[in-house]
Chain A
Amino acid sequence: MTGMDLFANLPGLLLAVPLIFAFATPLIGRYLPRARDGWVLLGMVLTTVIGLLIASAVFTGGTVAYTFGVPDPSVTVPPDSGGIPVRIIFNIDAMSAFMVVIAVVTGLCVMLYSLSAASRSSGKDGYYTLFLLLVAGVLGMVCTGDLFNFFVFLEIASLAGAALVAFRVDKGIAIEAGLKYAMLSTIGGLFFLLGVALLFGQYNTLNIAFLAERMGTTGLTTPDAVALVLFVTALAMKCGAVPMHFWAPDAYAMAPAAVTAFLVVSSQASLYALFRICFSLYGQTLNTVLLGWFIIILGLLSMFIGVTMAILQKDVKRLMAYHAVSQTGYMLLGVGVGLAVLSSPLLLSNFGMMAMEGGIFHIMNHAFYKGLLFLTAGVIFYRCGTRNLNDLGGLGHSMKWTMLFFIIGALAIAGIPPFNGFASKLMIYESVFSFNPLLSIIAMVVSILTLASFVKVFHSIFMGPKRPEFADVTEAPLPMLFGMGVLSILVILFGIFPEQVVEVMVAPAASALADQAGYIGSVMGGA
């Protein structure tokens, strides 16, 4: 019986575990400093196990709706409320579960890596507390079915993220990056809240499913449209879409490498929310062609400007940060095409679903290979003390494993078979081609430029004769290699078996996103 209770309350535990471990970390660090590493690792492992259990439950048994504060969490609508879901509800459908998998797997690898990356720095209590808070914030963002609750998790993730960006003060430059990130996140969050208030004023509810149902009956009013604009721009800014991406290179470059790898996931949680609001909240009530094209244009700008700016960079992490902006463009492009044809079932089944699957698959692939790349950049900084491509060189002689992991990540991001980036990019190219060939060609050109810029990075870091100033550089410590190794195995596995991943996780996620009635039905009952 208790086992069943525990299983039914997993979504609550998914939040409670990282939060408890986060706030207990300073205490453990104060009185049992030697147990701290084990403690935070235990917290992350538990979170991962819970997240994967929930995901497997969702992928096998359909959407899990979890209501907070009631004896039976599956009762979303109280019988005496007149059919209104009054409580905070976690509505975990296949798309949310997909994001949960990304967050916990990346989080675990990053945590393993952090254990040795942070071993030399001071203030580890604060670091781990903030990191677990960031994980909790991201998990909350992707699970919640309540707009205000989403805002709260967005702010938790933003604050923890900004504090982590500024964690290594670095003569104040990291603080500058943290300030920019925190400032823009706060403004974005406030505009998001304004949008929530506009919707609440009309419909007296915060639940996304219930809002969608009521909006479907009244049609799109002007305040709805204003709220949509506030949501879309705030979330597009948070996920680093050009021309609101300026914070991204600053923050990604200055954060500790492990944090950057997870900040990417945090940005993608905003991307998830952008899609959730476009598809599940507004969905059929608005002119999806216009909104779809807006997102496609954002995606194109992100792809092209991101990659061309990356070619100029001399700081390896800043270069990778611009690539993160550029890769976000692929996801926006894929899902934007899906959104643009959402109202036409024929086009949707011809290529729309495939474009969405490609875009969504790319989220996962990007989280893994970009995390891997940022971790290799972190190893190089950890060993050599510089990130400047002009000063580095000849490390291939002494860091063979790091080089191997870098090659895997670089080939994956450039979309070279048989790594995972190729599979999702192929899906995007082929489906977008039948929507508009020009878009597909631009996407391919961007891929080539990506490869070119990673050839540059590879050449300047690993190639060439051994440099005298790095003569005593040795291979990365074992926990770091382990964290990178897990990610690269995932990159290769997802590249060799893409169809299984698409069938089990990506296709359900894409159909869950496109199926607004199903989302409403999972909370309101009787779709």
Chain B
Amino acid sequence: MNGIETLTTGFGFWNPIFWVAGFVIALIITWIIWRRGEATYNTSPSSTGPFLSGNAEPQPGEIHVPGGNLYWGFTQALERYYAVIKPLHTGNLADYMLWYMGITAIMLILVVMVP
């Protein structure tokens, strides 16, 4: 596997060409399976459209899930972490400067005290 394209990482290797080839083969196999499916399937909207118990389909603007609602569960689960982290980003320039100078001061004390 020591072709010119193989990226050796010291512990393994990574050959994108093979990966792409495998991906293409998988695509072809998928296509073949798809081809063997039912050819007479009806694709008209009457059989593929959404069926909402006979109710009218809502307007496109009404059914879009906006980005802010995604990952609600994730942020909810990490609520206590975010309660600490988010308020740190105060937007106050004085805090920004304090963080920078504070880190510098701590490092200076560490370096001068610990030889």
Chains A and B in contact, CB within 8 Å: yes
B:79-108 near A, CB below 8 Å: 81-82, 85-86, 88-89, 91, 93, 95-97, 99-101, 103-104, 107-108
Question: Within 8 Å CB of B16, what residues of A?
Answer: 417-418, 423, 495-498
- Of the residues A180, A311, A468, A498, contact of B93 by C-beta under 8 Å: A180
> How many contacting A-B pairs (Cβ < 8 A)?
154
* B60 interface hit (Cβ, 8 Å): yes
Known contacts A246-B99, A498-B14: does B75 contact A464 (CB below 8 Å)?
Answer: no
Question: Within 8 Å CB of A358, what residues of B?
Answer: 9
Residues of B within 8 Å of A, CB-based: how many? 48
Question: Within 8 Å CB of B61, what residues of A?
Answer: 467-469
- Of the residues B60, B93, B103, contact of A179 by C-beta under 8 Å: B93
Residues of A within 8 Å of B, CB-based: how many? 70
Contact A423 B82 (CB under 8 A): no
* A441 interface hit (Cβ, 8 Å): no
Known contacts A226-B108, A499-B6: does B20 contact A418 (CB below 8 Å)?
Answer: yes
- Of the residues B19, B23, B60, B67, contact of A392 by C-beta under 8 Å: B67
Contact A226 B111 (CB under 8 A): yes
Q: How far is the CA of A230 from the CA of B108 in the complex (A)?
A: 8
* A184 interface hit (Cβ, 8 Å): yes
Q: Is the interface of B mostly helix, strand, loop or mixed?
A: helix
Q: How far is the CA of A110 from the CA of B64 in the complex (A)?
A: 33
A:444-467 near B, CB below 8 Å: 452-453, 456-457, 459-461, 464-467
Known contacts A244-B103, A351-B10: does B64 contact A465 (CB below 8 Å)?
Answer: yes
Q: How far is the CA of A477 from the CA of B78 in the complex (A)?
A: 41
Known contacts A179-B93, A496-B20: does B64 contact A311 (CB below 8 Å)?
Answer: no
* B49 interface hit (Cβ, 8 Å): no
Question: Within 8 Å CB of B39, what residues of A?
Answer: none
Contact B60 A246 (CB under 8 A): no
* A431 interface hit (Cβ, 8 Å): yes
Rank and list the top 8 A-B pairs by shortest CB-CB distance, nearest first.
A389-B67, A460-B67, A465-B60, A390-B66, A418-B16, A464-B64, A233-B104, A499-B7
Query: Could you tell me which B residues sit within 8 Å of A by CB distance?
Result: 4-12, 14, 16-17, 19-20, 23, 60-61, 63-68, 70-71, 74-75, 78, 81-82, 85-86, 88-89, 91, 93, 95-97, 99-101, 103-104, 107-108, 111-112
